[in-house]
Amino acid sequence: MSKKVSIIGAGASGIFSAILCAKAGAKVEVYEQNTKIAKKILVSGNGRCNISNRQLYSSDYFSQNPSFVEFALESFNFNKFEKFCNEIGLFLNVLDDGRAYPLSNEAKSVVKIFEDYAKGLGVVFHTQTPVSDIKKLIKESDAVIVATGSRAGEHLGGNSDGEEFAVEFGHTLVAPYPSLVQLHLNSEIAKKMSGVKLNAEVTLILNGVKDISLSGDVLFTNYGVSGFAILDISQAVSSALLEFQAVDISINLLPAFNMQKLSQHISKLAQNMPTLSILDILVGIIPLKIANGLLEELHISNAIKGKEIHTKLSKRIANLMLNWKFEVEDTHGFRHAEVSGGGINTDEIDDKTMMSKKQKDLYFVGEVLDVVGRRGGYNFAFAWASAYLTAQNITK
């Protein structure tokens, strides 16, 4: 008789677990609380679905147990995933930086192909069917896979169900925190610059000490900042806030300039246009809202003429452009986070099989575990790899 496998959650790791188990002959049923499956896949990559990454290393992941992902990533590397995709007609477009997207450039094509393929293998999806009694499900099944995801994206169904299931069997949790998320700044001036986006360098400052620097676009919002550079630094920010550290960021608005070059440039413009205001001079360098905010921060009247701008003032302006420090008071929360850090303690999970060390035939895959990846397809990659190990062990 074929094994009966029950899966809680029809996200990336749940669907892939279902496909691999069914392909090996198991009878698979998937329980999904939402009206439709794979809601998070549909919105990933702004609807394009950054489905994986060609370059996968354990250093791309954050966990209290950093080595936990190594066996999974080695066992089901990108080449194996790409081969699987090709076999089911899902062709990938791999960019120079390693990020992989479906050739169709549409997340919905990924969901459709995976869903149709799974159903063709006999997988049964029960939508609008949340699971409340996991112990009952274990008694009725040969194996149960918890693929509930994390608390991130609450409006898409993100919740703590998987963590609560784990606790029922004696598992411990690493405190969850939002990642790949926007940041709240303690600055009224930052809010006044809402809507402005620019390429910048962002440096994280923890307890007054510079930590990491990342480059990319930064978008000022009515609560603080967003943009790829902010999302990329948010894991470290969120983790530090959880530990009650003092967190600041420094934004370099013009990474191509150094202090001397920029201050000389401002001085030269002022000399060449003595009757123009400082605001008129600056808007040729930075956006108008940013220029107004910068002058307000420095307590400089935006009506000062070029002829009044001396070397010391040019240096003050240049310094703030290259080192504008903001206090981070919070993240934008789980609702707006793409993923979540923390989760089920991986010390209590077999890294070769993803089976619980506390309950036989109970498996945890994907984001419900204390594993979170960088932006760029890494979280999907771990979802596929952890599902692969689980299916291998259940159907061996």
Local confidence pLDDT in tens for the 396 residues of the chain: 699 999 999 999 999 999 999 999 999 999 999 999 999 999 999 899 999 999 999 999 999 999 999 999 999 999 999 999 999 999 999 999 999 999 999 999 999 999 999 999 999 999 999 999 999 999 999 999 999 999 999 999 999 999 999 999 999 999 999 999 999 999 999 999 999 999 999 999 999 999 999 999 999 999 999 999 999 999 999 999 999 999 999 999 999 999 999 999 999 999 999 999 999 999 999 999 999 999 999 999 999 999 999 999 999 999 999 999 999 999 999 999 999 999 999 999 999 999 999 999 999 999 999 999 999 999 999 999 999 999 999 999
CA gyration radius, the chain: 25
Kind of pairing between the strands at 183-185 and 52-53: unpaired
pTM: 0.95
- Beta-strand runs (E) in the chain: 4-8, 27-31, 52-53, 61-62, 92-94, 99-102, 124-126, 143-146, 173-179, 183-185, 197-206, 209-220, 224-226, 247-252, 324-331, 339-344, 362-364, 372-373
Q: Are 40 and 11 in contact (CB under 8 A)?
A: yes
Q: Is 165 helix (H, G, I), strand (E, B) or coil?
A: helix
Q: Are 9 and 146 in contact (CB under 8 A)?
A: yes
Q: Is 328 helix (H, G, I), strand (E, B) or coil?
A: strand
Q: Output the CA torsion sign for 326, 327, 329, 330.
A: positive
Q: Which residues pair with 205 in a beta bridge?
A: 210, 248
